[in-house]
Chain A
Amino acid sequence: MTSPSSLVDSTPSSPLNSDVGGLGDRGTWLLSGPQMSEGMETIANHIARLGALPSWSRSELRAIVRESGLQGRGGGRFPLAQKIDTAFLAPGEPIMVVNASESEPASRKDLILCGYRPHLVLDGAAATAAMVGAREVIVHLHRGSPFVRDALVSAVAERKTAGLDDPEWRISVGPDRYVAGEASAIASFLNGGEARPHFSGTPMARKGPSGRPTLINNAETMAHLAFLLRFGAALWRSGGTRTSPGSQLLTLCGEVGVPGQVFELVGQATIGDVLLHAGVTAPPAAVLVGGYGGTWLEGNMAWQVPFERTALGCVGAQPGCGLVGVLPHGACGLGETARIVRYMAGESAGQCGPCVSGLPLIARACDDLGEGKLRRRGLRRLQSLCGLVSGSGACSHPDGVVRLVQTMLDVFEDDVVRHLAGRPCRASNHPPVFSVPIPVSDVLDQVWR
């Protein structure tokens, strides 16, 4: 099931060591093309390699998208066709947004796509805009991604020079906060408000905060669309499974050969196959799947599980943003979780009561558990806090934290018992495995514009 990576390199222009590869025996789709060392693929090269986007009519486009079953790759996996139909049927010209903000700290798939293959993303966005009748496309990213911004700016300029039949492009830059990349937060930011999630009884695709239908799609979703419009829905579907069609981009983090490596999985592979490819030769202690608000899976079990929506669902996990994190034997899952939870608690938008009141308490309890200071009663309190906070917010941020904590208690049960008894942690000397961003200062804390 392994094959040599078709694209392996690191470039000086990239802010991180970038290593990109294909997984499985069918090479890469979205990530094929010139070496990463050549930087961003130019429009001339892009068209020479893949051809121009076929000029379908609006209804043909919508039929192809429906046939493809393409699901949003930001994590929600909502069917794109349904979103497009909602926006198309709603009154008013839709606001069409590409979400390239990639808030998930360890995920790099959107950075790689927008930085090296921006024309795939923009092709997909132009086609979506045509489907819903939007004359402008806004590409939204975080302020702290100048690499992505520069690539997108020059890609947009190239397209103008090439005279493509494109919508107007606008690059929008928002605050560098975790929840600021959430769709409703972006919609409210673009409407002149703060980049914080908001609550609405109406789907944004029908009516966003501005009153117009607001269609927000992840960058990877748009790139898949550009691919499948060229090569057909049937071929594209064959890159995945019936319930999650198409290839998928994965980011590896934790104890892997090259943390931050992005793989494209074309076909099917178990988590074990993915890890073998990333240089992990045996099942690790545990695997973190889906993101920092994702699910811990026990290593041996995870090794056998196909990285695919339905199979992951059977073990209580979701593909999320495609993050696969490796916790090696000898590291402490409780301490790692505590650091992630502490970071996530600090990233609350500070709006919804249970999140504001609950996450700091959950983070404190996790810290105590990691340090061996928590006792049985504290554990029961932690469990009841999880129940209180879950599902209580305008966005799913607290739900992610709860999922991480609850699966930690489950997967690292033996360690929980040791820590509760105050016995020394077997992993106390292990260096941290998962990196979390430095917490923003209290002054910056209030910057949501």
Chain B
Amino acid sequence: MSARVRIDPTRCRGHAICALFYPEGIELDRWGYGRVVDPTPGESRNLKRVLRAVAACPNDAVVLVVDEGHDAAAAPSGP
């Protein structure tokens, strides 16, 4: 069981603050929307930065989810 950083793309408005706090794991696209490149913060030093990024997002788009293993999470859903 490990924690993973995710960005809710429906909430992200491109404030880009998350990438300031956690540049190791979050990249910005050309519009400033965040994209997680390293979802597992791993060591505690990084975890602290991630938590800052989570707290700093004005839209609550950055979330830390607890990974509960592989299952229907990967289920792609068709229209």
Contact = CB atoms under 8 A, between A and B. Distances in A.
Interface of A: 72, 74-76, 78, 82-83, 86, 101-104, 178-179, 181-184, 196-199, 201-206, 216, 218, 291, 320-321, 351-355, 357, 388, 392-396
Given A354-B33, A388-B29, A82 B71 contact: yes
B73 interface: yes
Contacts of A86: 71-72
B72 A181 contact: no
B75 A320 contact: no
B10 A197 contact: yes
A357 B12 CA distance: 13
Contact of A199 (B4, B9, B13, B78): B9
Interface string B21-51: 0000000011101010000000000000000
A394 B10 contact: yes
A144 B25 CA distance: 44
Given A218-B78, A394-B10, 20 more contacts: A74-B78, A75-B78, A75-B79, A76-B75, A78-B72, A78-B75, A102-B79, A178-B79, A196-B10, A201-B63, A201-B65, A201-B73, A203-B73, A204-B72, A206-B72, A216-B77, A291-B79, A354-B33, A357-B31, A388-B30
B73 A74 contact: no
Interface of B: 4, 6, 8-14, 29-31, 33, 35, 63, 65, 68, 71-73, 75-79
Is chain B's binding surface mostly helix, strand, loop or mixed?
loop
30 contacts: A72-B75, A72-B78, A76-B76, A76-B77, A78-B76, A78-B77, A82-B71, A101-B79, A102-B79, A103-B79, A178-B79, A181-B79, A182-B77, A182-B78, A184-B77, A196-B10, A199-B8, A199-B9, A203-B71, A203-B72, A320-B78, A351-B10, A352-B9, A357-B31, A388-B30, A392-B9, A392-B29, A392-B33, A394-B9, A394-B10
Contacts of A205: 72, 75
B9 A75 contact: no
A196 B12 CA distance: 16
Contacts of A182: 77-79
Contacts of B29: 353-354, 388, 392
A436 to B, nearest CB: 15
Nearest to B30: A388
A181 B10 CA distance: 17
B8 to A, nearest CB: 4
B56 to A, nearest CB: 18
Contacts of B35: 392
Closest 7 CB pairs of A and B: A75-B78, A201-B65, A183-B77, A74-B78, A103-B79, A203-B72, A352-B9
A198 B61 CA distance: 12
B14 A353 contact: yes
B18 to A, nearest CB: 13
A83 B9 CA distance: 25
Contacts of B4: 201
Contacts of B13: 353
Q: Which of B10, B78, B79 lies at the interface centre, i.e. has the most chain A CB atoms within 10 A of its CB?
A: B79
A83 B71 CA distance: 8
Contacts of A75: 76-79
Nearest to A87: B72
